[in-house]
Amino acid sequence: MTKREQYKLTFNKIKNRVYCGQSEITTESYFLCSLLNQLSDREPEYLLDEIKLAVAGQDFDAFYSVDGALFSDGVHIQPPNAIINEKYEVKLVDLKQLLDEWIAFVRAS
């Protein structure tokens, strides 16, 4: 089972736009889908890099601001978890796998 399936997400493309949807509305799917939809073109790779550093026990940025906005909720990286928009906690390894799946989908689209 993919992380996309586990968290009840769908990856979609309409014309030239990719977006995340929810196959079932849950707290998890809402926050994860919102995060993926807010990330600009290159941001998933940058966030993924920080998560990889955190998982490896190396220095990482503990806060990731979506699109560089100073006052956005963003993602707090607190190993072994990440907190999205200060409201939803997800395992770093799950978020890493989900970002891998999202990046692969976007590149294939």
81: exposed, middle or buried (Cβ count in 10 Å: 0-12, 13-18, 19+):
middle
> What's the confidence (pLDDT) of residue 72?
62
> What's the confidence (pLDDT) of residue 65?
85
DSSP β-ladder status, 88-91 and 81-84: antiparallel
Stretch 104-109: mean pLDDT = 92
For residue 9, what is the enclosing H or E element?
strand 9-14
Radius of gyration of the chain (CA): 13
Task: Extract the tokens encoding 108.
Answer: 């294939």
69, pLDDT greater than 80: no
- Total domains present in the chain: 1
Domain containing 97: what range?
3-108
Least confident of 23-27, 36-40, 69-73: 69-73
15, pLDDT greater than 60: yes
Q: Is the pTM of this model over 0.85?
A: yes
**Sign for the pseudo-dihedral over CA of 66, 68, 71, 77:** positive
31, pLDDT greater than 70: yes
